[in-house]
Structure 1
């Protein structure tokens, strides 16, 4: 599969060509991360596309933050990390998105107390840790299944 869709992730969503989508949520799309050196790394993409959290109404902000927490809960359930980390920056990509990172006991001790962004650049680009269907499809499906059930439970309350 070509990676051309990465040049326009939102256009790829609209054309149903983004292969990383877990599910549509109230505030946007949950996607599995391009890199999986921390298995279960996911991102919530606000949709429609906005620049920042401050661009949303109070209700839309609440929806986005609730969806982010549901995505984290799904990753927690499937991957059983020691904790979940959440981050919203917008410094590199100028659209609202939230990173959902599982953190594991097996991570190097010198990395545990710091944000994942302090991992060496190589960890983000190594071919061995890039998402691929052969290695990560089952993980993606498990997270999507759990997330779908959490959304349904949330909607029924």
Structure 2
């Protein structure tokens, strides 16, 4: 009986964690009214503008020291060059470490932001990096990938919207 109760308790904890992780923010379907530092030095980027976007947008969460992020970065650049709107949101480090990452990978096409406060990461409940969220034109989350993923999946999903 103890084993059964322990297994049920464990299953409940895992289910709760998955629901919280996959929910995508405090208010599902609402782009947060948060301002994030632009890496181009042009002030802050208002995420709320994604609630009325011309096209679907991929939010890509990365960290400068992340091995997987370093492998994905060139693919993210190509994805943005292929026409998908990409907002790359760095974090889990200091802003001072981000420009070397951007330069090393030739990231020029995505909108480059850095979230030192982790407010956007927390809103979207990104538990680690990399992570990606596909938003539709109204800023609603349509799909998410946690950890390494094939950027072509994001492009295909965006084209289907």
Same fold (TM over 0.5): no
Calculate the TM-score normalised by the size of structure 2.
Answer: 0.29
Calculate the TM-score normalised by the size of structure 1.
Answer: 0.29
Q: Which has the higher contact order (CA 8 A, sep 6+)?
A: 2
